[in-house]
Amino acid sequence: MCSTDKQTKAYDFKTRDIKVLKKLFPYLLKMRIRVILAMLFLIVAKFANVAVPVVLKEIVDVLNQTNVLLILPLGLLFAYGALRLTSSLFNELRDAIFVRVRYHIMRLIAVSVFKHLHTLDLSFHLDRRIGGITRDVDRGTQSVSTLLSIFVFNIIPAFFEICLVIGVLWFNYDIFFAGISLLTVVFYVGFTLVITTWRMKYRYQMNDMQSEANMNAVDSLINYETVKYFNQEDAEVNRYDETMTRWENIATKSFTSMTALNFVQSAVIAVGITIILIFASQGVVDESLSLGDMIMIQVLLLQLFMPLGSLGIVYRQIKHNFIDMNNMFDLLDRQSKVNSSKDAPKIKIGQGKIEFKRISFAYKGKNKILKEVSFVIEPGQKVAIVGKSGSGKSTLAKLLFRFYDVDSGEILIDGQNIQTLNQHSVQSVIGVVPQDTVMFNESIYYNIAYGKQDTNQHEVEKVAKLSFIDTFINKLPQGYDTLVGERGLKLSGGEKQRLAIARVLLKNPPILIFDEATSALDSYSEKMVQKSLKILSSKHTILVIAHRLSTIIDSNKIIVLGDGKVQESGTHAKLLESNGEYAKLWQLQVNEKSDEI
């Protein structure tokens, strides 16, 4: 990497760190009273702490007088104890006051990120693997707490105490002592910043390796069944081990470079203390300094370099936390590609008429999947979309639900262009049963009741009957309290689809989308669900994405998609009579069924 690139990268680090601090500042303002109190307690504690060596000097000087009657300096001893007690008390008060600030800000940011992730469009969640996202959020929120703790419990106290100690040395003794102390601090901080900045590349690489390993592990465990089907356990373990091996090598380099930094830091402190003590000792020999002065200087130096001794570790933690927080705040900076303006009106639903007008759409980096598609779904109609795989059937459903926005054309609901409406309000009037049904790792009741807030047992049981899942549920030992497992793995495909149908029926929106919703049902359950859909069609506008044509014979209209366009449309009987693409698909499926028999 050339010098210019390094400078640009270093500048980027600084600007990104400043960005993090700007994002944290509003959260601190919300807790400003506690922050101010914590700072006041910190100041009192440090003044008491620096006053301890001053009192100790007086005690030693009094006790060191040999030519006068020795009297126990009780007042000074009590003052010494009181100062130490005051320092400890106000440090603890600072911690007790500030702990609420740490965890409150941590909670607010975690909730903000979680909320923001739900506002991002579907393409973001398809591109990013969930393991990497959760890892970034977890590390980022934890870093918020750690960073605040470091500043309040390490950086600010250390800086304040260094200023006090150097000030005391300057005020009470020769400027030489304060000058050497200050130079030692400057050299220590300088070496720490330079070497630690050089070491940061290892931390970035370690983070990347950890995130990659975590994503691989989550991905593998989520696809547990697939791994087992293809006997790929060893391959998954090897893939994970390869990433962790790279992480191990980088972590070893990081730790080795840290030991070198620790030695440099210790050397700087050792040289500084040695020089000061030599001149202090000479002062005692020359009787320009008392023994109490010698002890006071030594204790002050200990108080100066003890917090400085951990400054290297603290600085590394700060840089690490900034890296982790930058990753999290990058998520907050991501903007959804599907947005509604703040003043976008809510949808006014009437009869539920849907119009697709000259719709064109292409996924990022791909050719157009839809080319000026137009059709109308009248209120209360059941319209089916059929076609070969990849013809854009499910894409139409995603566009209607506003997972994506069209490239050109309009989608209207009751004459309103959904792209100009509040996105949440549009989605609230549409219910979707997807082909790949995913369940929460909760009870059956929870998964059905998810379709409607403030529902009750009677409503849940009613929709379970309509979707013909009630008999299955009642046979379970725990009934509606039965846990469905991760992503619903304890249920069959048909059981999951019927639960999904029950859930969307509970939502009871005026518009329903069934994306291959009966593909995993047995023949009997499919017929029962079809009866339910027929009843619903008089009250709802229904769009059915179908592969099995036998499920959509009773549709008011069937639209055949091909090559991104509407090839033909009409009723089942009309399309068979026209002997077009639909008739070919129908005959193909009839032949397949005959072969199976």
Span 388-409, pLDDT tens digits:
888 888 889 889 988 888 889 9
The confidence score (pLDDT) of residue 597 equals: 45
Question: Same CATH topology for 9-333 and 351-429+541-597?
Answer: no
129-143, 363-377, 548-562: segment of lowest average pLDDT = 129-143
The confidence score (pLDDT) of residue 359 equals: 92
- Return the number of other C-beta atoms located less than 10 Å from residue 569's C-beta: 17
Does the structure show a pLDDT above 50 at 548? yes
State how far the Cα of 199 lies from the Cα of 324, in Å rounded to an integer: 16
| pLDDT class of 305 with cuts at 50, 70, 90 | confident
| Topology of the domain comprising 9-333 | ABC transporter transmembrane region fold (1.20.1560)
- Return the number of other C-beta atoms located less than 10 Å from residue 274's C-beta: 9
* SS3 label, residue 520: coil
The percent of residues in the chain predicted with pLDDT above 90, rounded, is 6
What is the side-by-side order of every strand in the sheet holding 368-377?
A: 368-377, 354-362, 408-413, 416-417
119-133, 207-221, 442-456: segment of lowest average pLDDT = 119-133
Q: What are phi and psi of 387, to 5 degrees?
A: 155, 175
Homologous superfamily of the 351-429+541-597 domain (CATH): P-loop containing nucleotide triphosphate hydrolases (3.40.50.300)
Does the structure show a pLDDT above 80 at 48? yes
Does the structure show a pLDDT above 80 at 105? yes
Span 242-290, pLDDT tens digits:
888 888 888 888 888 888 877 888 888 888 888 888 877 877 777 777 7
Give me the chain's average pLDDT, please. 81
Higher pLDDT: 583 or 176? It is 583
The confidence score (pLDDT) of residue 355 equals: 93
Residues 6+ apart with CB under 8 A from 105: 24, 27, 28, 30, 31, 144, 145, 148
The confidence score (pLDDT) of residue 169 equals: 80
Q: Determine the average pLDDT of the residues in 500-526.
A: 79
Does the structure show a pLDDT above 60 at 321? yes
Does the structure show a pLDDT above 60 at 69? no
State how far the Cα of 66 lies from the Cα of 302, in Å rounded to an integer: 28
Domain boundaries, the chain: 9-333, 351-429+541-597
State how far the Cα of 365 lies from the Cα of 257, in Å rounded to an integer: 43
Does the structure show a pLDDT above 80 at 594? no
Higher pLDDT: 409 or 123? It is 409
Q: Determine the average pLDDT of the residues in 149-169.
A: 80
Does the structure show a pLDDT above 90 at 490? no
Span 21-34, pLDDT tens digits:
777 778 778 888 88
The confidence score (pLDDT) of residue 10 equals: 44
Single pTM value for the model: 0.66
The confidence score (pLDDT) of residue 11 equals: 40
Higher pLDDT: 181 or 237? It is 237
The confidence score (pLDDT) of residue 275 equals: 83
- Return the number of other C-beta atoms located less than 10 Å from residue 563's C-beta: 11
Tell me the CA distances in angstroms from 502 to 84, 238, 262, 506, 583, one per residue in order: 68, 42, 63, 6, 33
Q: Determine the average pLDDT of the residues in 166-174.
A: 80
State how far the Cα of 43 lies from the Cα of 156, in Å rounded to an integer: 10
The confidence score (pLDDT) of residue 320 equals: 75
Query: Do 304 and 181 meet the contact criterion of CB atoms below 8 Å apart?
Result: yes
The confidence score (pLDDT) of residue 4 equals: 41
Does the structure show a pLDDT above 80 at 102? yes
Higher pLDDT: 470 or 538? It is 470
End-to-end CA distance of the chain: 68
